[in-house]
Amino acid sequence: MPEHHSTFVVDGAQRAAKTPPGFKAEVAQLDTFKLPDRATGSLGDHLLGKALIDAWRKDGIIQIAMTDEEKKLWDDAKAASQKFFRQPHAAKAACVDSQSYAGYIASGEEVTDGIADYSEIFTITKDLGPSDPRVRAGWPCHGPCPWPDSAMKEAMTRYNEALGRQGEKLLGLIEMGLGLAPGSLTRYTRDGWHHTRVLRFPPRNMTNGKGKEGRGIGSHTDYGLLVIAAQDDVGGLFIRRPNEEEKFANWVKSAAGLREDDEGWMFIPPVDGVHTVILGDMMQYLTHGFLEATPHKVGLNTRERYAFAYFHEPSFQAVLKPLEGGCGGKLDRSAKDDQGIHYGTHFTNMFLRNYPDRITTKRMVAEGRYSLLDREELRTMDAPATL
Ligand SMILES: [Fe+2]
């Protein structure tokens, strides 16, 4: 362990493992990093950025101490989540929107690699009202968030805003750790398409028999830059470490179902007062695979489980290109022949694939909205959001 490392680490102690029954996995022992209040570009920030990158390249996941404020926001968000999910089905099912994918997803509704997941989800996307020009113009996935009430809206929004600040800080530290010019990553996250999955998993003996026993969410990678997650004390998250023998590119060919039943999974035990951070497809693409998207899956445990995953993303309108330079020449391959990836299209494809029967998918198809993704104004971050 490098000498500087210890100055960032709170402690390496873990609580007792609570691996879900029926899963064989190594139990992770992760150090917990402490982030500065502000990343200023100091030597310490550069060293921290390098230490974070080393940890992602070794383990595929890092653990960060919550601030006291974040801990309070997570507690409030978790309480709002429990209140929401304990309502009758009809009340939850009313929280859908035909233009955005925000809102309720029932247990067994989401499909990963053709098999039902038992997660119960409230998705939060950018909350855009009917007067927003992007909504008026029918841009795919753009619309309001169908909140059940203002209390949930407030708790979730405040937590998301705090995680948004943390996401920007992490991207800044990654830029420093990779030796990139400031803004190399954060230029894509202006008006980022950040979103959140508020998650509840039933206990494994309380499912409807549509999916696979013990299946919470099947193996997959997430599609953006960073995923900052919190979990309660039950346990269910598994990840795979970066591995030379396992190469994949989810934006070319779906990584869903990848190595689902293979050996080699690592269980991430719940630790009080931390966020975990894994990487998404766009980080892998930008860094030519130097940082890889982290395959993960969720198993059902003996008790119900609450978790929260915040996705720190590029702008919907961003067209990403692999980085040129940085990381001591390791990222120095030319990107000029690469067409780039339009994040809005990548995002829309993921949701179409996961929710083929949702009202949002049906309306998008019926109104021919998908073809708007090819239009110039949806692929230019500097363009005014008016048509
Ligand atoms: Fe995920």
Which CA distances in Å does 311 have to 164, 197, 372? 9, 8, 24
Give distance in angstroms: CA of 202 to centre of ligand 1.
17
Q: Which residues of the chain have pLDDT under 50?
A: 1-6, 12-16, 387
Give the pLDDT of residue 259. Answer: 87
Give the pLDDT of residue 6. Answer: 45
Instruction: Starting at the earlier edge strand, list the strands of the sheet with 215-220.
Output: 26-27, 266-267, 237-239, 296-299, 215-220
Give distance in angstroms: CA of 297 to centre of ligand 1.
7
Give the pLDDT of residue 299. Answer: 94
Give distance in angstroms: CA of 283 to centre of ligand 1.
14
With vertex at residue 140, the alpha carbon angle to CA 337 and CA 298, rounded to the nearest 5 degrees, is: 85
Give the pLDDT of residue 268. Answer: 96
Give the pLDDT of residue 107. Answer: 84
Give the pLDDT of residue 114. Answer: 76
Give distance in angstroms: CA of 296 to centre of ligand 1.
6
The CATH architecture assigned to 2-379 reads: Sandwich (2.60)
Give distance in angstroms: CA of 218 to centre of ligand 1.
9
Give distance in angstroms: CA of 220 to centre of ligand 1.
6
Give the pLDDT of residue 245. Answer: 80
Give distance in angstroms: CA of 294 to centre of ligand 1.
9
Give distance in angstroms: CA of 309 to centre of ligand 1.
8
Give the pLDDT of residue 8. Answer: 65
pLDDT digits (tens, 9 = 90+) for 96-117: 999 999 999 988 777 777 778 8
Residue type, 60: G
Give distance in angstroms: CA of 197 to centre of ligand 1.
9
Give distance in angstroms: CA of 192 to centre of ligand 1.
18
Domain limits, the chain: 2-379
Give distance in angstroms: CA of 222 to centre of ligand 1.
5
Give the pLDDT of residue 257. Answer: 84
Give the pLDDT of residue 336. Answer: 55
Give distance in angstroms: CA of 289 to centre of ligand 1.
18
At what angle are helices 150-178 and 43-59 packed, to 10 degrees?
100
In the numeric block, the tokens 């800080």 are attached to 169
Give distance in angstroms: CA of 310 to centre of ligand 1.
10
